[in-house]
Amino acid sequence: MSGDRIMVGVSGGVDSSVAALLLRQSGADVAGMFMKNWEDEDDALGLCPAEQDARDAEAVCKHIGLAFHTRNFAAEYWDGVFETFLAEYRAGRTPNPDVLCNREIKFKTFLEHAEDLGAGKIATGHYAQVDEIDGRFRLLRGADPNKDQSYFLHLIGQAALSRTLFPIGHLPKPEVRRIAEAAGLPTFAKKDSTGICFIGERRFREFLSRYLAAQTGAIETPEGQRIGQHQGVCYYTIGQREGLGIGGVRGFPEAPWFVVGKDIVRNVLVAVQGTAHPLLFSTRLAAHSPSWVSGTIPGTSFRCSAKTRYRQPDQDCTVDLRDDGTLAVQFAQPQRAVTPGQSVVFYRDDECLGGAVIAATDAAYGGLA
């Protein structure tokens, strides 16, 4: 293989299939690699369908005439992603493993293995774009606002971004499916994957209980009235409505309950009624471990827009760098259910600047003074 070769991460889905096809049609020297990032005893039951995905990926590569490689990154995934995932849940936070997976696996381990096979660049089926200005590579939103995945890619630095292609980033999802069908790709009608990759179609709480010892405890109102029982504080997230198991409570209207706080020390979950309850909102957050796509912070104090969750509309904010290297973020408007452990990701127009991990907020139970 030559350094001009491009290694496509083929997942067995339609997006990476079309990414590989478009590169092949462009005349590039292309090969495909399937990454298996998780394995356990449920593989044989089809609950984490990596084997079927691998077969689909191989079929796509055969259909368009690409060499096909497989690699098992389960050990690297456990060390680089899953152990952090568990530690965050134990601490009562709600991590985003997809963000870590992109940094540690898809744009690090995969890139290293691709280079070992002689590839000079990698490509994936992410909905994002890259451009270069004066030797600096920028991460840009995908053209389809409903599918843009730059939020999950904000930890990618210059070294990886300079060797990365996103062949479908300029396309809307319906066009990707149309291209796949027109080319007869075996994945053209395959359903998009959802949820966390290593959990698959399993119930989240059931899966997590294998690794975290959780104790049942009280669900209380902010005033301390017991209104139900939780199955373990770590299983719930701020703003959650489903799965609380709170029935009719005497003295309260028939209205949904939402999680607003998690008291790890007392093993208590705090809930309120109403999707717009004031205790769900915050205007400030503190964030740690900032990472900037360019390699440097845009300034010690700057204005931009931000997202605190995937697909959230852009929110105007001011970002200040603290002496200890953490960030203080002030939003122009109150933000609902901002969740410690998740990522706050910063933008200027279509450029993703970078992001950080949310540590605390000024919501009533957010931990920020």
Active-site residue list: 101, 197
Q: Enumerate the β-bridge partners of residue 346.
A: 306, 354
Tell me how far apart the alpha carbons of residues 362 and 369 are, in angstroms, rounded to a whole number.
6
Residues found in the chain: 369
Tell me how far apart the alpha carbons of residues 95 and 93 are, in angstroms, rounded to a whole number.
6
What kind and span of H or E run contains 20?
Answer: helix 14-25
Q: One-letter amino acid identity for 100?
A: L
Tell me how far apart the alpha carbons of residues 345 and 354 are, in angstroms, rounded to a whole number.
6
Residue whose pair of structure tokens reads 């740690």 in the numeric block: 288
Tell me how far apart the alpha carbons of residues 361 and 37 are, in angstroms, rounded to a whole number.
33
Nearest residue to 326 via CA among 283, 285, 282? 285
Nearest residue to 221 via CA among 257, 266, 267, 264? 257
Instruction: Specify whether the CB–CB gap between 73 and 109 falls below 8 A.
Output: yes
Tell me how far apart the alpha carbons of residues 341 and 250 are, in angstroms, rounded to a whole number.
34
